[in-house]
A and B are shown apart, each in its own frame.
Chain A
Amino acid sequence: MRRVSLDVTDLAVYYRTLRGDVRALDGVSFSLADGEIMGLAGESGSGKSTLAKSLIRMDGRMRRIRGRVELDGTELPVDDQRAMVPFRFHEVSLIPQYAMSALNPTRRIGRMIRELIRSRGIDYTAVHPELLRRLELVGLDAQVLDRFPIELSGGMKQRVVMVLSTLLDPSLLIADEVTSALDVTTQRSVAEALAGFRDRGFITSMIFVTHDLALVHQIADTIMVMYAGRPAEKASSRTVIEAPRHPYTRMLLSSLPEVGVTFSGKRLEGIPGQPPGLLDPPEGCRFRDRCPLAFAKCAEEPPFTEVAPGHWAACWKVEG
């Protein structure tokens, strides 16, 4: 059994709005082993970004209702902005979706990095050689430090941010839709570079948030699929893609066009209906209105249980 690095227990995070609480994340439990890359997949409104944000920085509208997050045996004070400061960048780090806007446009990259490192009370000269080595690893030469962000392409900026975020060898890296705005070839090199970071031990484990199952299964060890604020299924990447058990995962996969599938050859079907509103979500299974297998018992909330070794699902129809 490998060491568990991240352990999330029954985490619930709501957004405060004028009309009441939006239950964006409602009881999520999972753990991440040392060296594990977990793909976090789901549609918009499934709570995947809320989960990712909760682990590093909650914004003002977010409130933790219940639940516990443990990283390497220490509890993360996720809803205490001040107490989280020592963890950010050192232990938990983030690559945001729009790396383009993460860089200060008025500073040369090198100066921006230097200022950032020093602001954390770290000696810049000590990390400089490592910085250059890692830039080279992702295919950027040292000259990039003398450039302004506007002079770099989207993929180059994404790689600069990747190197910067992982410079202090954090235990957990959260990559939030990092490849969504990139071209297919750049997408691939960025995704592979991230997996390479794990292999070289720059990061211990990673949560790779995406809506693209085809992409995430290329690099992730496990995939957790979320639906309407709750986890639907978690298993190894291969199992999720080849033998999913939850009806939502199955329907989602069968609606994805692949190279080789054509409209005139084999017509794919989407999932009818749309996810429930999270302001006042229905009791029981949240997928039941769209689920062809729904029956009376679905009015009760299905537990997220281990149906096979290393395979969790939240559905009454999935036999253990």
Chain B
Amino acid sequence: MLDLRQVSKTYRVGAFGGRRLHAVRGVDFSVRPGEVVSLIGESGSGKSTIGKMVLRLISASSGTIAFEGADIAGLRGHARTKEYYSRVQGVFQDPFSCFNPIFPADRVFELVRAEYAGAVSQAHWRARVEDALTTVGLDPAQVLGKFPHQLSGGQLQRLLIARALLLDIRMLVADEIISMLDASTRIDVLNLLGDLKARGLGILFITHDLSLGNYISDTAVILRRGRVVERGATSAAFSAPAHPYTRRLLASVPQLHTSWQQADARLAQEGEGECPGCAAGGRPGEHGPVDLADDHAVGCYTAA
């Protein structure tokens, strides 16, 4: 459904744009309907930049991003863009700053109606709003007409997801949507994404938290400095991480029942290992994604 081919983004930085910053370099992956793909990486890995490019908030410097076969860079004119946004929507990290504090929070629904569904009758629209709210697990009577400060972060974040669902979307870009939420409500929002996936929605889940990425996603894409280090089915990438970087990253994740010392001991026992991609014929230390198995690839850029 969504296909990224050799997508790169270069920023000009410094005085007069003299220096170039390669935020994303040659990234390939795709998202199918009903699939959650998580982009996992540390800060500066380019994960949010990819999300913004998919949402057309910024344009790609090179490469193509195709949605249902059509290159999104080629969408010209208001009507075409609007059509794209009625299929692809985003939800972002901070729910508190997404609302205008002087209006009731459900005004976001009215804005969607004004922009996309002007012809729908009031009663019909109201039914759609209530339906979307029920889907995200909110009681319409409890949230409609409330101001943002009267609602919790979890409720606000779910309102934003409900807003995206009002349109008949196929693809949701979720950029760190639960990092601002409390632990006890976090999991409910994650479960909600899981339920939406079951209804055929494709989700691009951007996170820095490996355990969250592991919980929800079908495919994991591990990024480092704008490049894909490892890509594969979540079960493979997490239970048998191939690239030394992924292994080290996993060993640093704080876990409830494993101490860092135990994780280190395991790493030492298994050995950090060499990149299997280099052994499988890639140019040592500077190869792009090399397939190890079906749906599991590693890239290596240690030499660069």
Contact = CB atoms under 8 A, between A and B. Distances in A.
Do A and B bind? Answer: yes
Interface of A: 43-44, 154, 183-185, 187-188, 192, 211-215, 217-218, 241-242, 251-253, 255-264, 267-271, 274
Interface string B150-176: 001110000000000000000000000
B238 A256 contact: no
Contacts of A217: 254, 256
A267 B190 CA distance: 10
Contact of B248 (A154, A185, A271): A185
Contact-residue size bin, chain B (C-beta under 8 Å from the other chain): 35 or more
B152, B210, B256, B259 — most chain A CB neighbours (10 Å) = B256
B208 A184 contact: yes
Given A184-B210, A262-B214, 15 more contacts: A43-B182, A217-B256, A218-B259, A218-B260, A241-B256, A257-B211, A258-B255, A259-B250, A262-B215, A262-B235, A263-B191, A267-B191, A269-B188, A270-B191, A274-B154
A188 B43 contact: no
B269 to A, nearest CB: 18
B249 interface: yes
What is the predominant secondary structure among interface residues of chain A facing chain B? loop
A245 B188 CA distance: 23
Given A184-B252, A188-B254, A241-B257, A257 B190 contact: yes
Contacts of A258: 211, 255-257
A213 to B, nearest CB: 7
Contact of A256 (B42, B208, B256): B256
Nearest to B248: A185
Specify the main secondary structure of chain B where it touches its partner.
helix
Nearest to A290: B184
Given A43-B184, A274-B185, A268 B254 contact: no
A247 B43 CA distance: 36
B74 to A, nearest CB: 35
Contacts of B259: 218
A270 B253 contact: no
A257 B187 contact: yes
Nearest to A272: B188
13 contacts: A183-B208, A185-B249, A187-B254, A214-B254, A217-B254, A218-B260, A255-B184, A258-B257, A261-B214, A262-B215, A263-B194, A268-B191, A271-B184
Contacts of B186: 255, 270
Counting chain A CB atoms within 10 Å of each CB, the highest count among B42, B183, B239, B260 belongs to B183
Interface string B241-273: 000000011101111110110000000000000
Nearest to A274: B152
B48 interface: no
